[in-house]
Amino acid sequence: MTSAYDRDLDKNPANYRALTPITFLERAAATFPDHTAIVHGPMRTSYGEFWRRSLQLASALARRGIGRGDTVSVMLSNTPPMLEAHFGVPMVKAVLNTMNTRLDAAIIAFQLDYAEAKVFIVDREFSGVAAEALKLAKVKPLVVDYDDPVYPDDAPYPKGERIGAIDYEALVGEGDAGFAWSMPDDEWDAISLNYTSGTTGNPKGVVFHHRGAALMAYANTIHSGLRQHSVYLWTLPMFHCNGWCFPWTLAVTASTHVCLRWVRAKTMYEAIADEGVTTLCGAPIVMATLLNASDDEKREFSQTVTFNTAAAPPPEAVLAGMADAGFAVTHLYGLTETYGPAVVNEWHGEWDDLDRGARTAKKARQGVRYAALEALSVRDPETMAETPHDGETIGEVMFRGNIVMKGYLKNRQATDEAFAGGWFHSGDLGVMHPDGYIQLKDRSKDIIISGGENISSIEVEDALYKHHAVAACAVVAKPDEKWGETPVAYVEFKPGKHATEAEIIEHCRTLLARFKCPKQVIFAEIPKTSTGKIQKFKLREMAKEA
């Protein structure tokens, strides 16, 4: 039924514009043209320059025929061209595909082909593997070399050597800073493509849209407490779900990007002390790097630095150490499919007064939905019924909202499965607490089913971490004729510490039901990804043989 409010009140160019993060950079550059947008080693780029260079990149791409729906793949470190690509590529309605820089040639080739890449921008550090990949790939993109002045001259791929048709600076130089950039035709149009898994089999190329990127920029600003001219340190790779959308986010407050090619304690402390860093995002391993820095790597600083971390909740000792070192840690959770963090452990002031154990328990929870996420739920994936809010019943964590991906590129089946029943199925298992906070219990593939009982590998790992000798650990399922599966623990010791398998198992029994305790404990180095994530699939393979 229509009312008077449905008549003669239509959309027009004055009252409806496509949401896009590009307008945030336009605004920052117009308002604060001289403010520093990017710090990279000794280089400083103002907001005016950042905007003009993004326009030049867009203009140069347009002249070479790049336009709506074309993929521009990049293999770049956290450097200025990566930031310019986040704006210049969507300015011509093209799609930015940021590649994991640790991939091998075969996977890169696969991803280039799958994305139908028209342009491929490569940092010299990755030229070797990129050149190999290009030999394997069917597509023949325009290859652009980026020779970062901060990258050492000698190795591994020598300075001056080229694999591409043109140098990045020359490409930008072709462009016109007065270029008339394009708003997206529709805010639902794709802005970026991020692969969640390497290759073949069931390729999952997550597609983001302009609408979600813009809303994420607002939500990140609010949840991270960014203000006018905050200073953000890049430790999270921007190739990892577009650096949780922070390349776009910082434009809202005209904040400064401090780039880092490599995550090293000394350079991080230098940036914090010398550039006045206020905010960073990083994996738990970055916290460890900061805390375990030697005295000559550390620097004094007076500001409190907001540290957003995701993945595993930080142990209490780490949190305490970080607080002492001047960092305020916020615990976030999300997936590539949710544009990065979509859940935040909103802290209640009164929780500061809890005793240590209770406080840790609160901090260990992933939390509540981001302001830009419309719903967060834990459900039975079969019946789609909500699990009781009892903090105990395990279900699948599901998302619904404007910061959920468009879907997987050219993979209707995976898309349909992911969105079955009108919710995005995360594949993560968790519980809903009575106060509405969720807590992860496992990835669905990481859960251990022993004698018909579900064992959360996270719960067992939590128990292991309470042993004084354990530095790192991971628990996976080992196939078992009698029980179906049994838990196996992999453990790394702290320097100078040691324990026996029996001692570790006995320790677990003081904390866990007997069936949850590891049947076997293996002392070995645990395989991790370049971003510090433990590779459980490798451990599962190892456990089969163990």
Contact positions vs a copy of itself (CB under 8 A): 1-17, 19, 23-24, 27, 30-32, 68-70, 95, 116, 188-190, 207, 218-219, 221-222, 225, 227-229, 252-253, 346, 348-349, 368-369, 371, 374-375, 399-402, 404-407, 409-412, 415, 418-419, 422-424, 436
Q: Please say which residue, 206 or 473, places its beta carbon nearer to a copy of itself.
A: 206
Closest separation between CB of residue 386 and a copy of itself, Å?
A: 13
Closest separation between CB of residue 322 and a copy of itself, Å?
A: 20
Closest separation between CB of residue 407 and a copy of itself, Å?
A: 4
Q: Which tokens hold the place of 150?
A: 């901060």
Q: How far apart are CA 367 and CA 341, in angstroms?
A: 11
Q: How far apart are CA 101 and CA 449, in angstroms?
A: 35
Q: Which tokens hold the place of 519?
A: 């049947």
Q: How far apart are CA 472 and CA 136, in angstroms?
A: 38
Q: How far apart are CA 517 and CA 512, in angstroms?
A: 7
Backbone angles phi, psi at 540, to 5 degrees: -65, -40
Closest separation between CB of residue 78 and a copy of itself, Å?
A: 25
Q: How far apart are CA 272 and CA 268, in angstroms?
A: 6
DSSP letter assigned to residue 138: S
Q: Which residue has the tokens 């030229």?
A: 127
**Which is nearest to 198 in space by CA: 541, 530, 545, 544?**
530
Q: Please say which residue, 11 or 356, places its beta carbon nearer to a copy of itself.
A: 11
DSSP letter assigned to residue 499: -
Closest separation between CB of residue 347 and a copy of itself, Å?
A: 8
Closest separation between CB of residue 430 and a copy of itself, Å?
A: 16
Q: Please spell the DSSP secondary structure of 436-478, one letter per residue.
A: S-EEEEEEGGG-EEETTEEE-HHHHHHHHHTSTTEEEEEEEEE
Q: Please say which residue, 13 or 42, places its beta carbon nearer to a copy of itself.
A: 13
Q: Please say which residue, 169 or 374, places its beta carbon nearer to a copy of itself.
A: 374
Q: How far apart are CA 366 and CA 439, in angstroms?
A: 5
**Which is nearest to 504 in space by CA: 479, 470, 456, 539?**
470
Which residues have a Cβ under 8 Å from the Cβ of 153 and sit 6 or more positions away? 159
Q: How far apart are CA 203 and CA 95, in angstroms?
A: 18
The per-residue b/e assignment along 339-373, b for 16 or more CB within 10 angstroms, e otherwise, is bbbbbbbeeeeeeeeeeeeebbbbbbbbbbbbebb
Q: Please say which residue, 27 or 538, places its beta carbon nearer to a copy of itself.
A: 27
Closest separation between CB of residue 286 and a copy of itself, Å?
A: 24
Q: Please say which residue, 85 or 373, places its beta carbon nearer to a copy of itself.
A: 373
Q: Which tokens hold the place of 475?
A: 């628990």
Q: How far apart are CA 17 and CA 3, in angstroms?
A: 24
Q: Please say which residue, 211 or 540, places its beta carbon nearer to a copy of itself.
A: 211
Closest separation between CB of residue 65 and a copy of itself, Å?
A: 12
Q: Please say which residue, 227 or 266, places its beta carbon nearer to a copy of itself.
A: 227
Q: Which tokens hold the place of 239?
A: 């190739």
Q: How far apart are CA 31 and CA 244, in angstroms?
A: 25
Backbone angles phi, psi at 403, to 5 degrees: -110, 35
Closest separation between CB of residue 404 and a copy of itself, Å?
A: 4
Closest separation between CB of residue 205 and a copy of itself, Å?
A: 9
**Which is nearest to 165 in space by CA: 126, 208, 122?**
122
DSSP letter assigned to residue 348: P
Closest separation between CB of residue 403 and a copy of itself, Å?
A: 9
Q: Please say which residue, 374 or 453, places its beta carbon nearer to a copy of itself.
A: 374
Q: Please say which residue, 219 or 475, places its beta carbon nearer to a copy of itself.
A: 219
Q: Please say which residue, 219 or 521, places its beta carbon nearer to a copy of itself.
A: 219
Alpha-carbon torsion 283, 284, 287, 292, what sign?
Answer: negative
